[in-house]
Amino acid sequence: MYKVDLNCDMGENFGIYNLGQDEELMKYITSTNIACGYHAGDPMTMRKTVKLALQYGVAIGAHPGLPDMAGFGRRIMDISAEEIYGLVLYQIGALQAFAKAEGTSITHVKPHGALYQMANQNTAIAEAIAEAVYRIDGDVYLVGQSSSKLVKAGARAGLRTLNEVFADRNYEMDGSLTPRSHEQALILQSKYSTERVIRMVREHKVESRTGEEMNMRADTICVHGDSPDALEHVIQLSQALLEAGIEVVHPVS
């Protein structure tokens, strides 16, 4: 049987501002990436999300981002690899503390937003992130876009890695995600999205926005939890994967 992890970015509330449907989505995913207070999240949200993950048996991961709460961590910043090392180390440590307080530990690290894109394209930044993760815990997984510089840097650092694909995003012909500013960045049709995901898991292939066929290994699938129809989409996707003979499970299970 084919196997794949289903992950979702969560814990992205801040104070009185709520985003996403974390508790409902937890029932259908196998791993969660929890915001660590820089692009979103706060101490109460981090603790609550860790406890929810434990309640539903979902693997806990740190989701460090750039210090850009106003831009939700999605704006590129002029920042050195050394600074990124410190930012990532700090944020992983924060979530690790909440996990430890609940008697558990983190299983993976996945950068957020612009930091994720920078690491997928810039070797120095990718290596800074990989080093930060390895120095904290060399046993956790590092999650990066399929076949990216981040995944390769993680492997060189001695980390286990997960190649990530996106259920609801289009790809450019170079394998990068279509920028969110583009009108075709998001895939809104659940059936089409599901068919693409199943093909990526089974055949390691996907079609770019402009029609080119590309190799795309899928160890873990990301679904975004902040869209209005996110819950319905995740339910349909998890059911379709099972019907296609694909087991949804985190690698540490």
Architecture of domain 2-248: Alpha-Beta Barrel (3.20)
Q: What is the pLDDT of residue 230?
A: 83
CA separation for the pair 207, 200 (Å, rounded): 10
Contact in structure between 121 and 149 (CB atoms under 8 Å): yes
Question: 37-59: per-residue pLDDT in tens?
Answer: 999 999 999 999 999 999 999 99
pLDDT beyond 60 at 1: yes
Number of H helices, E strands in the chain: 8, 10
What's the gap between Cα 75 and its chain centre?
Answer: 17
**175 close to 216: Cβ distance less than 8 angstroms:** yes
| pTM of the full structure | 0.94
Q: What is the pLDDT of residue 253?
A: 57
Q: Write the CB contacts of 189 (distance below 8 Å, at least 6 apart in sequence).
A: none
Cα(193)–Cα(83) distance, integer angstroms: 37
Average pLDDT over residues 143-161: 97
Average pLDDT along the chain: 94
